[in-house]
Amino acid sequence: MKFVDEAYIDISAGDGGAGCVSFRHEKYKEFGGPNGGDGGRGGHVFAVADPNLNTLVDFRFSRRHDAKRGEHGMGSDMFGAAGDDITLKMPVGTIITDAETGEVLFELLTPGEVITIAKGGDGGFGNMRFKSAINRAPRQKTPGWPGEKRNLKLELKVLADVGLLGMPNAGKSTLISAISNARPRIADYPFTTLHPNLGVVRVGPEQSFVVADLPGLIEGASEGAGLGHLFLRHLQRTRLLLHVVDMAPFDEGVDTVAQAKAIVNELKKYDPALYNKPRWLVLNKLDMIALEEREALVKDFVKRFKFKGPVFQISALTREGCEPLIKIIYQHVKAQQKAEQTPEAVDQRFAPDAE
């Protein structure tokens, strides 16, 4: 299934039914009095966070969603039935904004969370509502109130604990397939990954974390170059970034340090908060480098890159070094989760992103 992370929909809650003008007609009762009932409420439009969905592709082909209107009131004190509600299933992590103003209206962050995105109109009053001591035969009624209508933009921001970033062909897809259940497309050319892939990494019984593989970034991504700029926003919800570097590029003239610095600069330009997230360096494809040359190559890279955080040496293809990396990531993610659950902590992961 193609990953779709943006969609536009038009929703319309149901209008309320109109009230009824009616009078009681009974044998031997000349003045039966008013008995016109109220109209029914229009149907609401709900959104529910479904953990089984990971794409907005359904809304790409089904844009219009209308709830039913309420039934009109009837005689004999009968109220109209409420219109049927509709519930739209959306992936966890969906942000709902007003397509016209850009205002963020709702966020679906918890599996099973249900929100009302459009309220149905109330039903109109029947003439029995207007009965009084001085108005014993009212002929007034009111129409139903209109339901809310909205043009919405749906935006899915992947909810992952760990995000992989790096240049095209750095081996991110191979890494996520090596450590998780994800099976992305892998090939020996750049830009193989065209949409985000999510994988669950199992560390032990009831011990796991979610990792996201995003399309490779290139210089100028924050300004629209390449594919990665479309998905940089997905990294904003992660707890940890893994900067994957290809230590054995096909072109020997490529400066891997310059490429790594370009990625960091793109993060800084796109969002300073993203730049300041915990970021670890993962030096990949070391299986293609002779053992006697690895240590010197790694030391030279780290020195020139001026990186002060954790550095890991792996081969995603042979899975060398992957197991220790997984365990350390899990410990970091659990510590972050524990810190976020303290009363004093303010969970910035789910705060609305500054555009």
What CATH code is carried by the domain that includes residue 186? 3.40.50.300
Query: pLDDT tens across 19-45, in order?
Result: 999 998 877 766 678 999 999 999 999
Query: pLDDT tens across 144-171, in order?
Result: 999 999 999 998 876 678 888 888 778 8
211 found inside a domain: yes
- pLDDT on residue 156: 81
> Which tokens in the block code for residue 331?
């410990």
Averaged pLDDT, 220-237: 56
Residues 97 and 209 in one domain: no
17 found inside a domain: yes
Residues 250 and 146 in one domain: no
Please check the confidence at residue 191 and state whether its pLDDT lies above 50. Answer: no
Residues 193 and 128 in one domain: no
Domain boundary among 111, 140, 156: 156
Residues 84 and 218 in one domain: no
Angle at 265 between CA 260 and CA 267, to 5 degrees: 100
Of the chain, the percentage scoring pLDDT greater than 90 comes to: 37
Of the chain, the percentage scoring pLDDT greater than 70 comes to: 83
> Which tokens in the block code for residue 139?
């002929």
Q: How many domains does the chain have?
A: 2
- pLDDT on residue 73: 93
- pLDDT on residue 250: 76
Averaged pLDDT, 84-113: 90
- pLDDT on residue 213: 81
Residues 6+ apart with CB under 8 A from 24: 32, 33, 34, 35, 75, 76
Residues 142 and 261 in one domain: no
- pLDDT on residue 61: 83
Averaged pLDDT, 88-101: 90
Residues 190 and 328 in one domain: yes
Domain boundary among 156, 187, 202: 156
- pLDDT on residue 163: 86
- pLDDT on residue 21: 93
Q: Are 274 and 235 in contact (CB under 8 A)?
A: yes
Q: What are phi and psi of 263, to 5 degrees?
A: -65, -45
Please check the confidence at residue 10 and state whether its pLDDT lies above 90. Answer: yes
Of 51-65, 208-222, 282-296, 300-314, least confident by mean pLDDT is: 208-222
Domain range for 25 is 6-156
Residues 230 and 179 in one domain: yes
Residues 181 and 263 in one domain: yes
89 found inside a domain: yes
Query: pLDDT tens across 323-347, in order?
Result: 999 999 999 988 887 776 665 554 4
Query: pLDDT tens across 229-279, in order?
Result: 556 766 777 889 999 998 888 777 788 898 888 888 888 887 788 888 899
Domain boundary among 128, 156, 184: 156
- DSSP labels for 78-111? BPPPPPPPEEEEEETTEEEEETTT--EEEE--ST
- pLDDT on residue 351: 47
Residues 280 and 208 in one domain: yes
What CATH code is carried by the domain that includes residue 74? 2.70.210.12
Residues 73 and 128 in one domain: yes
**Higher model confidence: residue 252 or residue 14?**
14
Helix (H, G, I), strand (E, B) or coil at 284: strand
* Mean confidence (pLDDT) of the chain: 82
**Higher model confidence: residue 84 or residue 263?**
84
Residues 15 and 95 in one domain: yes
Please check the confidence at residue 92 and state whether its pLDDT lies above 70. Answer: yes
12 found inside a domain: yes
Query: pLDDT tens across 282-329, in order?
Result: 999 998 888 888 889 999 999 999 888 899 999 988 999 999 999 999
72 found inside a domain: yes
1 found inside a domain: no
Residues 186 and 91 in one domain: no
Q: Binning pLDDT at 50, 70 and 90, where does residue 199 land?
A: confident
How many beta carbons lie within 10 A of that of residue 228, not counting itself? 25
